Amino acid sequence: MPKYLLKYPCLCLMALFMVMNKVQADNGYKLWLEYHKVSNRQLAGVYRQQLQYMVFPASSNPLKAAKAEFLMGLDGMLSVKPTEVTNIVSGQTIVVGTPKSLNALPISFPDSIGNEGYLIKTIFINKKQCTLITANTDVGVLYGVFNFLKLIQTNQTISKLSVADHPRLMYRVLDHWDNLNRTVERGYAGSSIWNWHKLPDIVDQRYIDYARANASVGINGAVVNNVNADALVLSPQYLLKVQALANVFRTYGIRIYLSIKFSSPVELGGLKTADPLEPEVKKWWAGKADEIYNYIPDFGGFLVKANSEGQPGPQSYGRTHADGANMLADALAPHHGIVMWRAFVYDNKVPDDRFKQAYNEFKPFDGKFKDNVIVQVKNGPIDFQPREPFHPLFGAMPNTPLMMEFQLTQEYLGFSTHLVYEAPLFAECLQADSYRYGKGSTVSRVIKGDFNKKLITGMAGVANIGADLNWCGHPFAQANWYAFGRMAWNPDQSPAEIAADWLGMTFTNDESFVSPVKKIMLQSRENTVNYMTPLGLHHIMGVSTHYGPGPWVDNAGRPDWNATYYHRADSAGIGFDRTAAGSNALSQYAPEVKADWGNMKSCPDEYLLWFHHLSWGYKMRSGRTLWDELVWRYYTGAESVKQMGLTWNKLQGKIDPERFAEVKQLMQLQFKEAVTWRDACVLYFQSFSRMPIAAGSPKPEHLLDYYKKLKFYYVPGIGGNNYMTN
């Protein structure tokens, strides 16, 4: 035993505890690719038996990466290295490759496998049994290998396999809101992982590990810079840096994309205008595209935020979104690039209801976009709130590809302090019925192109990744990155299954840990909705930073940046009337949805205040008055965080002490913040309702004024760009 352990009995005990529990300190860097030892000895023995030999010729970079991952995974989990052979040894061989790399294969692929799908099969080749991982392409094989490893990581059987899987969406992209100065807009996990200063000369191991993690869940694209873009990124100096990243990503099937500033021809090219219909502007973009493809032959394309929150766009020149997007699409088309044109727009004119703006601006252009344009629509009509109804554009543009945009970074969900598993939020939106093509026209089916097979398809996630050791700030925030990839691959996958896989791969397969923690994860988003924005409240957070409660905010730059604009609380009641008697935003949905949500009796409680202004005494389904229900939700939300903490505390010893302790502290902090949200909001709304907090509930610790005066300095997530007033 090392001497220092004898000197410090405490350390000694901890070391003993770790050995006894076979757990090691773990900083979370390895994400869900930990490749823990398989602890069930019998199972490990069975696996080893089946993995004694391998046929795995690998000459391309993706195949080499797949092989390295395969060997690393098996070594980590089973301490085995299969012997490389050229012929199958019956029953004990794994065969990995494409028909090309394996020099022909006696099986045929179903059409659905396409370019990125894979097969994992137990088959007989030349009368000899083997396990085959195969695909049409090298990247398909890489996906197959990751999924094979996942079977072992989650302790599934690998005998008698017959797995065939393929992505349901074409573009599965992470959007990094990273600035060139390494700040990250709405980033809560440290600075940007892209070290632009040292690129292209220094290629950090992180870039490779990032790409591995993405490939393991099928993410095939990355937009590396902020949507509030700096024109500089298109300069030759920066394109060289982007090229270095692209060179890393390519091996893992990931294409690189850039957010562009619409006025780049002026700022970078010295032109007098960026009017998309001006020939010199078109020429500039075409030339820029050629130049980019010289550096990066498989460059993915552009992401564009135009005419929104002060960003320039075609409307600045009296042109339309379609004019702008199509001009860029023409520049990229010869190289097979795409334009992801964002529908998150609100211009300088304050609308009667910001909810309606994207629909009003985009719906008239249905069918007017070029084939390589995809309109990227946030899941809800306002802005990534803890709960939003699905965006009315989904289903409303039958001839336009619509790409889902989710936000993984927890801008409105407690930053990287609160445990919020977002898959239930994603699923709620994806499984919502738009009714646009009859009953069952879910948002998932719309974005998969089920109703128009000609359209390109995709899903984007605003990344929650930073330079923190554990990538995402909160150990559980990694689950949102993981779940995004899984749901971009197949939007209909169940959040519960994904959570169980992630827990098994990240922590342990011990059911006595997985089962209670999965429950915590599945409940976590609803808890947060309850202590932040229950019953359909939205946009009531602190102004600009979006940190903490701010239902009293009424003096921001423009009306629709104020919380009071959204909750409309007064002595008579609370909520935003979006029925025909109010802003009539509901008319943007199909008649069935409009009828359901437009009637306060059928509108689900969860969306009530999104669409109705109701009196404080309004009788809810529960039998409580609206006021009592609101208070009850705030209290239940905070209480459930406390309960979550108690459950967690009982799990000590089941995982590594490092992450256990970190999560424990985070839960305590989350509880403190949940109580602040609860007390601040209840006191504020009480100043209108003038009704009491139900007897028995703990009284808020302070008066309302205390919460209003709280000041927070240097809140993370404020990027290098200075228009954070919304």
Residues engaged in binding ligand BDP (CB under 6 A): 185-186, 227-228, 305, 309, 344, 383-384, 411, 726
Nearest to 289 by CA among 334, 259, 224, 245: 334
List the structure tokens of 529: 């909705």
Could you give the CA distance from residue 707 to residue 415 in angstroms, rounded to a whole number? 19
CB 606 within 8 A of CB 533: no
Nearest to 409 by CA among 171, 713, 185: 185
Preceding peptide of 200 cis, ω within 30°: yes
Closer residue to ligand BDP, CB minimum distance, 155 or 544: 544
Could you write out the DSSP letters of every residue in 191-247? S-S--TTTTTT---HHHHHHHHHHHHHT--EEE-S-SS--GGGGSHHHHHHHHHHHH
Provide the annotated active-site residues. Answer: 309, 383, 411
* DSSP symbol at 91: T
Residue nearest to ligand BDP according to CB distances in the complex: 383
User: Could you give the angle at which helices 279-295 and 236-250 cross, rounded to 10 degrees?
Assistant: 50
Could you give the CA distance from residue 508 to residue 39 in angstroms, rounded to a whole number? 9
Name 161's Cβ contacts closer than 8 Å, sequence gap at least 6: 120, 121, 122, 131, 151
In angstroms, the Cα distances linking 368 to 47, 371, 459, 655 are: 55, 9, 21, 54
CB 713 within 8 A of CB 719: no
The sign of the torsion formed by the CA atoms of 635, 637, 643, 645 equals negative
Q: Which residues pair with 442 in a beta bridge?
A: 433
Nearest to 139 by CA among 298, 296, 257, 30: 298
List the structure tokens of 353: 């209801």
CB 687 within 8 A of CB 704: yes
Q: Which residues of 656-670 are buried (b: 16+ CB within 10 A; e: fewer)?
A: bbbbbebbeebbeeb
List the structure tokens of 169: 């969406």
The residue assigned the tokens 């109804």 is: 389
In angstroms, the Cα distances linking 432 to 54, 183, 612 are: 45, 35, 20
Closer residue to ligand BDP, CB minimum distance, 74 or 543: 543
Closer residue to ligand BDP, CB minimum distance, 212 or 305: 305
Q: Is 724 helix (H, G, I), strand (E, B) or coil?
A: coil
Closer residue to ligand BDP, CB minimum distance, 139 or 189: 189
Helices (H), 533-625: 563-567, 591-598, 608-611
Closer residue to ligand BDP, CB minimum distance, 305 or 678: 305
CB 28 within 8 A of CB 469: yes
| Residue 309: CB minimum distance to ligand BDP, A | 6
- For 406, phi then psi, to 5°, come to -105, 160
Could you write out the DSSP letters of every residue in 611-656? H--EETTPBPTTSSBHHHHHHHHHHHHHHHHHHHHHHHHTTTTSS-
List the structure tokens of 90: 């019956």
CB 603 within 8 A of CB 597: yes
Closer residue to ligand BDP, CB minimum distance, 21 or 316: 316
358 CA to centre of own chain? 21
List the structure tokens of 79: 């301490």
Pairing mode, strands 301-304 and 338-342:
parallel
702-710 long-range contacts (CB < 8 A, ≥24 apart) are 704/680, 707/549, 707/676, 707/679, 707/680, 707/683, 708/552, 708/680, 710/548, 710/676
